[in-house]
Amino acid sequence: MKKIVFATNNAHKLQEMRQMIGNDFEVLSLSDIGCHEDIPETSPSIEGNARQKACYVKEHYGYDCFSDDTGLEIDALGGEPGVRSARYAGDDHNSEHNIDKVLLKLGDRKDRTARFRTAIALIEGERITIFEGKVEGNILTERHGEGGFGYDSIFAPVEADGLTFAQMTAQEKNAISHRGRATRKLIAYLLGK
């Protein structure tokens, strides 16, 4: 079985990705390969951050690798939090604080349209390929649901009849999510070789 590194130590993202890829590849995490440093994410775009992380793993550890970066873009906030989604309320990656900041900044605005965008950068040898996924939705005024992670409890995808990602099963979420859409493109590419 081919091994490929997913440049993350986020247990939720790793579990989602392993479920979606199934048994076709052995997906290794950063800790599985002994990478414990904080990989820089200094690009002004999600595509750039995904590429930066994948290239770091390839350069320092020698593995073919894919990395993702995701941004929540809220129209009424001019696209914020965007590339800063994970650190919107500070560098501690605290999802609850990030959600609090979004809800505070949105206040009682009527326009709550938003989208999640994911970019996955795959590096194999010297070749880099980017896969993108996007899902449109709305930001609710309060949290709903216990599942998911990040902003899932306040994001209701258009095609989910008012449910948030946090109210869905993993399978339901993966079927329509930004990461699911980008991952299916990645898997189709990998299996098509």
What does DSSP say about strands 113-124 and 127-139: parallel, antiparallel, or unpaired? antiparallel
Sign of CA dihedral 14, 18, 19, 21: positive
How many alpha carbons lie under 13 Å from residue 115 in its C-beta half-sphere?
Answer: 11
- Contact between residue 30 and residue 9 where contact means Cβ atoms under 8 Å apart: yes
CA distances from 90 to 28, 39, 42, 95, 190 (A): 28, 17, 15, 10, 36
**What length does the chain have?**
193
d(CA 5, CA 123): 10
Q: Which two tokens stand for residue 189?
A: 């590419």
Q: Is 69 annotated in the active site?
A: yes
Catalytic residue among 68, 69, 152, 161: 69
- Beta bridge partners, 70, equal 118
Active-site residue list: 69
